Amino acid sequence: PLSSVIISVGTEKPANLEGVIEGDQHLLLNRQICVARGIAELRDGKAKVVLTNFSHEYRHLNIGTTVAYIEECVAASDAF
């Protein structure tokens, strides 16, 4: 309860990219659990994120639970 942990997450399709991680709002509103917004580097579709439990109770996440979404960042040199 009221704690943060670093967890490994993955995507359905392995990819190598950098992007902005955004926590799942439904998870925050319904279970008071959220992934911190930030920039992440996915390698083979895997990354580490900070997950925070804002409730006063222990929470369990099943494997495969969607905790966040990623939006790919395009490097400035690739954009021109």
Q: What's the pTM?
A: 0.82
Going from N- to C-terminal start, the domains of the chain cover: 3-79
**Span 17-69, pLDDT tens digits:** 999 999 999 999 999 999 999 999 999 999 999 999 999 999 999 999 999 99
Q: Which range (4-8, 25-29, 37-41, 76-80) has the least confidence?
A: 76-80
Strand duo 17-23 + 46-53: pairing = unpaired
* DSSP run (H or E) holding 24: none
54: Cα separation from own chain's centroid: 16
Cα separation, 11 vs 59, whole angstroms:
22
The tokens of 19 are what? 């992007």
For 1, other C-beta atoms within 10 Å of its C-beta total 10
